[in-house]
Amino acid sequence: MHIIRPVSTQPRRIWMILLLLSILVLMSACGSDFQFQQQAIQGQDQLDRLLQRAQGIGVPSDLLQPITQQEQQLVYTNAPFTLFTSRPTSDYYHNLSIRYKLLQIEVQGLIATVTERDQAQAQRDIQALQTALTQRRGLPTKNIEQTLKQYQEELPKAITPKDYIAISAGATTAIQSLNLMQSDADQMRILKSAIDQMQKAHIDVTAMQTQYQLDQQAFVRALTPTDFQQLNTQIEAQYQQTLVNSTLAIPYVAAAKLREFEQQVQQLHTYGLDTAAYQKRLYQDQAILKKAVSTQDYAAFLKQIEADIASMHNDLVQGEAVYLVREFHNEASTWGTANAYHDAYDGQNYPLDGGYLAPGIGSDLDTHLSQATTPDDFQSVVDEANRDLFNLHMLEVDYKDHTPYDQVHATDRQMLTHYNLQKGQIIVVSLVEQAMRIYQDGKLVRAFYVTTGRFELPALPGVWSVLDRESPTLFKSVEPPGSPYWYPDTPIHYAILYHNGGYFIHDSWWRADYGPGTQFPHSDSGGDVTFSNNGSHGCINMQLDQAAWVYNNTDWQTQIVVY
């Protein structure tokens, strides 16, 4: 007999209870996991939007790529699976959210760094454009001057790297145009010389003069590098056609070219270079010209001497650059020694032209010469050295001028005329007088005593543009504590950046004394011997109320002349 026993339901109940408890645990855990998961999703979304914004405002993709790669690595990770606890899953999403936040902070820091970098580059490029315009004095640069003014107006409005990059690109293009403008001007001079020679030979040059006038008009209208390149090609073609169509004038042109070559050989000798090879070519060219009879003879001569002149161009411009830099250093050193300022405070003698010596622009000139490799590089050094020599000569003349500081000085007028600054608002700073004079359209408006850079860190002479305006701001020392040039964080009320690298015109509320001698060690009557008993760190210091007037009565188009 089979006894049928009832099946026990106890184990089944236990399993059901356990299953229900597990579901409750999982349900309670899912709520926590879901919250952290949503935070991670939001963090990734915010990071993606920030990366997209960074790319849109001009942050280079190669700088963002490491961050993008880190994000991809996070995307491909998975949350751990556990049955009875949600802690590992919660920790995973919480840590993921933190990682996304850290990447966001990294992107924000990158945006700030790139923006600051591109802003500084834009300031340097605008300053380079101003310098290039100064070097091209005498050329019709009105269009490019308007371009400079446009970029000066855009600079304070710029916010993103893309804004600053656009300004830099435009300024660089304008500099290229200026360099080509000089080349076109040289080509036009050669063409004009050929036309004049033909006129002396009683050849009808009416059509050529008409074309030359059209070239001049195109020259004035040209703005882009392409404009100047096309004009250069056109002028060269006209010059070659002029030689072909004017057989009678060829002897005159040939003789003029021979004289040009001879003068350049002599110039190379003046620069202290070996001219033996060029002198030999000159003798050969002289012999060829004496024997020239036919048009073909003269054409062959012109081809040869053009090649000879071109072959010495690099040596000529390099020799001139080295010669002028050497002359500049010799004059600055000799004059500074002969006209030293005797400081009764420490018994030392200080050159009054320290801004032109090695601590100032003298070292810049050496650096530019050492870095020059192309003829254009050396030509830029030639232009820079000539400009620095002229400014130094103005300082030397101003030193002997006893006109009161608050009246017009003859050297001011010479500077304004030389650099074509008779129109507009100009701040003129005399280093030997330690004085500032404000001119509006050539008329003196205000004058102040100032304190410029100490001997070791002089203010930089030259013609500069406004690169930044800050009111108020906080100056932070780039030198570490313990350095003789360190200073604590200093609040400044009015600051105008006149040269990249932190060269400002600004108020110096800690000083009481300004004027002659305050750029050297002295006892300030205000009693602050820590930071006011010597010159500045290259800035131009002013009394607070006077700095306020200058800041409020100038703008981004104001030009700054320091000599």
* CATH number of residue 485's parent domain: 2.40.440.10
- 105 lies in a domain? yes
pLDDT grade for 85, boundaries at 50, 70 and 90: low
Mean pLDDT value of segment 308-315:
92
| Whether the Cβ atoms of residue 534 and residue 522 lie closer than 8 Å to each other | yes
> pLDDT digits over 389-410, tens only?
999 999 999 999 999 999 999 9
Strand order in the sheet with 503-507: 468-470, 495-499, 503-507, 540-542
Which residue has tokens 């033909």?
Answer: 198
Residue ending a domain, among 88, 115, 142, is 115
Q: What pLDDT shows up at residue 21?
A: 46
- pTM, rounded to two decimals: 0.75
What are the tens digits of pLDDT across the range 483-508? 989 999 999 999 999 998 899 999 99
Q: Establish if 111 belongs to a structural domain.
A: yes
Domain assignment of residue 66, yes or no: yes
List the domain range (segments joined by +) for residue 427: 405-563
Q: How far apart are CA 281 and CA 284, in angstroms?
A: 5
Q: What average pLDDT does this structure show over 524-540?
A: 88
Q: Is residue 422 part of a domain?
A: yes
**Which of the listed residues 69, 100, 115 is the one where a domain comes to its end?**
115
Task: Say what the alpha-carbon torsion angle 420, 426, 427, 428 is, to the nearest 10 degrees.
Answer: 30
Instruction: Assess if residue 60 is contained within a domain.
Output: yes
Residue 25 lies in a domain: yes
Q: Is there a domain that residue 44 lies in?
A: yes
Residue 554: strand pairing partners: none
Given a contact cutoff of 8 angstroms between Cβ atoms, the answer to whether 178 and 228 are in contact is no
Residue 78 inside a domain? The answer is yes
**How much of the chain, in percent, has pLDDT values that exceed 70?**
91
Number of domains in the chain: 2
Q: Which residue among 85, 115, 145 closes a domain?
A: 115
The residue among 325, 337, 356 whose CA lies nearest residue 461 is 356
